[in-house]
Structure 1
Amino acid sequence: MAESTSGPGSTIPLRVREFFLARQPILDRNQALVAYELLFRNAEAGPARITSDLSATASVIAHASQLGMEKVIGDSVGYVNVDAAVLMSDIFKFLPREKVVLEIVETMKVTPQILARVEQLVADGFRFALDDVITDTEDVQKLLPLVEVIKFDLRDMPLSALLKLTPRFKSANKKLLAEKVENREQFQTCLDLGFDYFQGYYFAKPVILSGKKLSPSQLSIMQLMSQINSDADNAAIERSIKKDVSLCFNLLRLVNTPAVGSPRRIDSVTQALMILGRNQLRRWLQIMLYAEPCKKGHAMTPLLTLATTRGKLLELIAQQVEPRNRGMADTAFTVGIMSLMDTLFSMPMEEILQQVAVVDAVGDALLHRKGVYGELLSLVEQMERIEEAGTMLDDLVARFRLSSEDLCNLQLSAFEWSDSVARYA
């Protein structure tokens, strides 16, 4: 048990792992990943309880030795919600001030004591954001000199109000963050208004372009994946890789990253095939598809991070559910990482599956969220968006007989692995 102090003489008992966790990407104007907002939902409590006990949330994060904050956010910054009880507590000695931005919830009444406490924490080096600002209230004005970031929830903000408020906060030299950005049009509107940061899954939604063709390098990778799926011999696979110098170089660079975990350096395609095996080779080819745009200056890191996290988490859950079935874990990884290829290629998933053959179970999962792999994918998608997840999340957790502690441990492993891949990609 951990305890969270939430006021003079009061403590809140807390089982540290009795929650679901999500990290939601925060992107800059170039759509590069700069931070994550950390969201917690009490296990089996329903979506309405997402931030019902912010003291528990803060306590979980504060006990970094138990959670491992660096595993959750990697090299990024973490945005964390705080309320009056948390602000007046002593948990801040546990928090790495250079790695967090504290989000003051919009419902908090700004008393003289709260104002003094925020001033003290700012003097100590902590940074603050104001969450869900919908109007320029007296409380907002009191806190404005002390905060760096103003957050607007686009679901609750009419465009007329946004047009009125943004110049006011920009003139005060505040960074503006738009959250719940759900489509490219909203992103473009906020970009035009001068917003600095963006939060929401618009970047993961496919924008289908008719007649879109794969680039030559993407086509080479897809053809290689088809060769592996159709059991071509090693010599034929080697020849295909060696035909494309860039593909060969990037594959060898990727398979020598810490995420692969090879005990010795891999210096040739022959070695890569021998040491990795076909399933692992397919995995790294899939990752290369997401990594390739990064090398051309396109900020696709969030998509790479999301896809690799999905793939790894699906694999780890499958291993937990069926520990003796390695094939199930490999297939689950493929489902997770392929689930965003329609966004990556700006093509319907049906067209992608015509170009790279997959087994029926994978196709059913990707197209219809059916079968065991479809349920696994749905589970992970629900966990990414726990704010909106209803009873379906609890049902799927129960379906796979997972505890919230199991899921938390698997998520931390997936986050860590994915961040390692993105760092070297």
Structure 2
Amino acid sequence: MIETASTDTPNSIKVRDFYLGRQPILDRNQALFGYELLFRGAQSGPANIETDLHATASVIAHSAQLGLDKVIGDALGFVNVDADVLNSDIFVFLPRDKVVLEIVETMVATPLLVERIQALAGHGFRFALDDVVTDSENVQRLLPMIEYVKMNLRDTSMAALMALAPRFRQERKRLMAEKVETREEFKTCLDLGFDYFQGYYFAKPAVISGKKLTPSQAAVVDLMGLITSDADNAVVEKAIKRDVTLALNLLRLVNTPAVGIRHRIDSVAQALMILGRRQLQRWLQIMLYAEPAKRGQSMTPLLSLATTRGRLMELLANKLRPGQRNISDIAFTVGIMSLMDTLFSMPMTDIVEQIPVSDEVRSALVAREGFFGELLHLCECIEDIDGMANTITPMLHQLAVSCEELAELELAAFEWSDTVVRYAI
């Protein structure tokens, strides 16, 4: 066991006072590598970093209750810590093979702190140095214990990036670009030799004028149209069987643990009978995101983000409108369709013309209006928890959802999404 200092995690901070952000970190192939976990308090915003770090310490200390594996799945979890946290006894709660501890460049590398980091590194903990903007003497003292160097594109000039990247690569450090907001920025950092990328550039649509759906995408969209138009089961079944690959992929998906069916489904007819049309449409929507990965394209992060949004919106709708199954089904559809403009490289207005949707779904997707638009906006704010933390709390109050309830729903959505992604590709 690691010897720890006597500093205790603040008992005044409760897990229920905080909600969670999970931001994906991608590798050079845009495949999922890890998540940065960001904990924000109900009363804290982006400027209240000290409170947020104490929030991190508190949640880590209660990780058995939180279920860290549910949050990060098979990926690595990057967690921010400060000097007080480093000197606390929270590390007995952390799986050292699953987490990377992030410290900021401005943390003063005193001899005692360096000794503490060395001790933790000697016990298998890995470290990332965050918000690096210089190659200062302080950075040099910390660098020997650091595996990952993170540079924030919003705070670092291109000249600094071009100067620092080769320097840290020479030291065999893994470079991570943070706050990557456009595909052009991703390409620039890729050329500079960065290994990992954090930001939602991958979820922003690169609209291509006149873009058409691929034959496989069109087949799934046509099927969704048959289901929403109440076509006979025999017609739906025949349409699915017409595309052998589609039928096989659908059967594999509906046999995942995320579906919750105890007995194996062996035929399209059985899937229609057991799942029903709404559930079948759900898995067709998921197939649209999984299909590019089967062609060798790295769309796993988009699949993960879409399924997380869909599931979280479904769970929120079920809590806010209990007993109204149709409402939660619509919420899931809005969540998963909200990234189809990126998936198809088409404007959302064109997508809702090709895929039949109700007026309330259209309003949510195109203008973020109505009940479902409000839920979608909340999910988007949670994803951008750094910039939107002050917006989330008023939205939760308006919906009469507590931080504790949101955290529980988030964990359930993360776990469900990770199960889907694992089996879908």
The two structures have a TM-score, normalised by structure 2, of 0.97
CA contact (8 A) 1:31 1:299 kept: yes
How far is the alpha carbon of 1:368 from its aligned partner?
Answer: 0.1
Deviates more, 1:197-206 or 1:293-302: 293-302
CA contact (8 A) 1:14 1:56 kept: yes
Matches within 5 A, 1:82-93: 82-93=81-92
How far is the alpha carbon of 1:390 from its aligned partner?
Answer: 4.9
Structure 1, unaligned stretches of length 5 or more?
Answer: none
Residue 252 and residue 210 in structure 1: after superposition, are their counterparts in 2 closer, same or farther (change >3 A)? Answer: same
Match for residue 334 of structure 1? 333
Aligned residue for 2:37, secondary structure, equals strand
CA contact (8 A) 1:342 1:348 kept: yes
Structure 2, unaligned stretches of length 5 or more?
Answer: none
Aligned residue for 1:17, secondary structure, equals helix
Match for residue 397 of structure 2? 398
**1:48-81: per-residue Cα shift (whole Å, max 9, x none)?**
2355341331231232211000000000000001
Match for residue 206 of structure 1? 205
Aligned residue for 2:34, secondary structure, equals strand
Aligned residue for 1:101, secondary structure, equals strand
Residue 353 and residue 53 in structure 1: after superposition, are their counterparts in 2 closer, same or farther (change >3 A)? Answer: closer
CA contact (8 A) 1:22 1:38 kept: yes
Aligned residue for 1:299, secondary structure, equals coil
Match for residue 66 of structure 2? 67
Alignment partners' CA distance in 2, 1:236 and 1:37: 46
Alignment partners' CA distance in 1, 2:8 and 2:314: 45
Aligned residue for 2:88, secondary structure, equals coil
Matches within 5 A, 1:18-417: 18-49=17-48, 52-417=51-416
How far is the alpha carbon of 1:260 from its aligned partner?
Answer: 0.4
**1:82-120: per-residue Cα shift (whole Å, max 9, x none)?**
100011111111110000000012331111000000111
Of all paired residues, the percent bearing the same amino acid is: 62
Deviates more, 1:103-112 or 1:45-54: 45-54
Deviates more, 1:408-417 or 1:49-58: 49-58
CA contact (8 A) 1:12 1:56 kept: no
Alignment partners' CA distance in 1, 2:277 and 2:28: 39
Counterpart of 1:88 in structure 2: which amino acid?
Answer: N
Counterpart of 2:95 in structure 1: which amino acid?
Answer: P
Counterpart of 1:235 in structure 2: which amino acid?
Answer: A
Counterpart of 1:55 in structure 2: which amino acid?
Answer: H
Counterpart of 2:100 in structure 1: which amino acid?
Answer: V
Aligned residue for 1:47, secondary structure, equals coil
Aligned residue for 1:13, secondary structure, equals coil
Alignment partners' CA distance in 2, 1:263 and 1:340: 31
CA contact (8 A) 2:99 2:125 kept: yes
CA contact (8 A) 1:379 1:396 kept: yes
Alignment partners' CA distance in 2, 1:164 and 1:47: 29
Alignment partners' CA distance in 2, 1:255 and 1:408: 27
> Alignment length, in residue pairs?
421
CA contact (8 A) 2:44 2:52 kept: no
Give the root-mean-square deviation of aligned CA atoms.
1.3
**1:335-385: per-residue Cα shift (whole Å, max 9, x none)?**
000000000000111111111110000000000000000000001111111
CA contact (8 A) 1:40 1:57 kept: yes
Counterpart of 1:396 in structure 2: which amino acid?
Answer: M
